[in-house]
A and B are shown apart, each in its own frame.
Chain A
Amino acid sequence: MKKILIVDDDIDLIMQYTPVLQQAGYQVTAAYNGQEGFEKFQAEKPDAMIVDLAMEHFDSGFRLCRQVKKTAEGQKIPVIIMTSAAHETGIALSVGTEEEKQWIAADDYLEKPVSAKDLVLYLKEKVFKE
């Protein structure tokens, strides 16, 4: 059973994703800020991480991704940034090029809002290629 770590300060989002992901056969664990996210990453050893960009700071998600990707464990798992930043700031992020990947230190980037069902599809097809 694949374990997904969701790091987001939006309690409702986590509450809404959790049952849908569980029904799709994933184990879900959650953290509500960057620091907690890193602790959970180390303790729970998830198979994938979904990370919100703006939590206690506007770039908490970036910091967490860099932190995670510095570890051997972190390099093995897909880390996906999920944010509404582009929508709110007009700055479109992408991880299309190697350079962008280096800078963002994430494997992919999703634009909020993402419904729980779409997240399941995305995990199945893009992340775990089941």
Chain B
Amino acid sequence: MELHEFTAGDIRKLLRERKISSVELTRAYLERISALDDRLKAFITVTKDMALEMAAAADKAFGEGRESTVGGIPLALKDNLSVKGIPCTCGSSILQNYVAPYNATVVERLVSENSVIMGKTNMDEFAMGSSTENSAFFTTGNPWDLSRVPGGSSGGSAAAVAARMVPWALGSDTGGSVRQPAAFCGITGLKPTYGLISRYGLVAYASSLDQIGILSRNTEDCALLLKAIAGQDRRDSTSAGIPVPDYEAALRGKEGNFTIGIVEEFFQQSLDDGIRTLIEQAAHVFEGMGWSLKRVSFPHIRYSLASYYIIAPAEASSNLARYDGSRYGLREPAETTISMFKRSREKGFGAEVKRRIMMGTYTLSAGYYDAYYLKAQKVRTLIKRDFDEAFRECSFILAPVTPTAPFRKGENIDDPLKMYLSDIYTVSVNLAGLPGLVLPCGFSGGLPVALQLIGKPFDEVTLLRAGTAFQRATDFHLKNPPLGEAVPGGSIKESMK
């Protein structure tokens, strides 16, 4: 078996048994990145030197008997997470030359556990998009079909994990940006409860919706990485002061009898037939495990996309105001300060970002605030109530992730409304601040399809348990994308000491 085929959990075992060193492993993955990324374009920055240093530090720690959950295992970060001394572009021209001078809290936690940061991955500019086509630099390919998009906005991270360029990666999810690309790339994705992971150092798109999420090969890896990064942070007032369970240990616990909620409104009109069929099959898999299904109705869910596309741009218009060319990032010279601001922003931001800034500015303007922003917030409360109601009887909710399989590059780029529709099953989860887990559940026309389990607030344990049960019963998550010819990655036999 080749090195890159191992999951993070396998790698951890190999590292602990000293069957491999972190430096060897890191070299192998770096090699694979350099061989594959010309075609895939998942990375904006590959932090080769830093990765090797971190790997050496991890080996040293192992040598001294200091072990950790994620130590020595390569990891990729979406390019909106701050790593001290490393560019943090957010996929935007306006931050092309910006180097973060501090570490995000998650990065600090990963560094303290000797994780190995391999690089920063491509993304839709400022996390706005559903295809990674809004990156100012290039478009990432879907490992299952390079002519298709990997999803967005964490498309780079999803593609890197799916192509086995890293065992796992972090992304961010504001309206589905971890779950949708995980689905498109056929991997496991988790958007945790809002407040479970500190947002400090995650460049904000829409503060009340953003949450750092995990892209991995299976639910066990997901639990491992979550354990390393979750928990309260004094630097993020919205991070929750609740004890972090040992997710890894929880997976070994008894499964229990779950009731799965099926939201009627999720299975109407726009859902692709192939996807509908696969999700229904998945529901039967759960039933086969002795769990019961329960039909529930979400009367307000149809307003979720509209309210998301009011709240997110409103917050974004404010969060992105700091990029004006005066302190860092792109500066276009001009006669006056205001025209310098205008020119820098005109040149630095792409079309989608400008579109959302304008929408947000409009809906927050005096005279429109009540009609749009305030109303959207009220809808948000109602959507939350729909979920609360369902959770009285259901352990979690089973839903689609996307209405269609991965679309072709360029297919939706000139039709923003159609693009926005690809978030239809994911945004309500962010509006309600809930956790959502995405699991591969089959293939449609050779392309991966996934299901989504939506859990109660801070009940990641139940979600991951259910997900683990599903992955024990199925093998969709074990399929490799057809990347063609053998790509170097090293094998365990060669590198065994």
| A and B found bound together | no
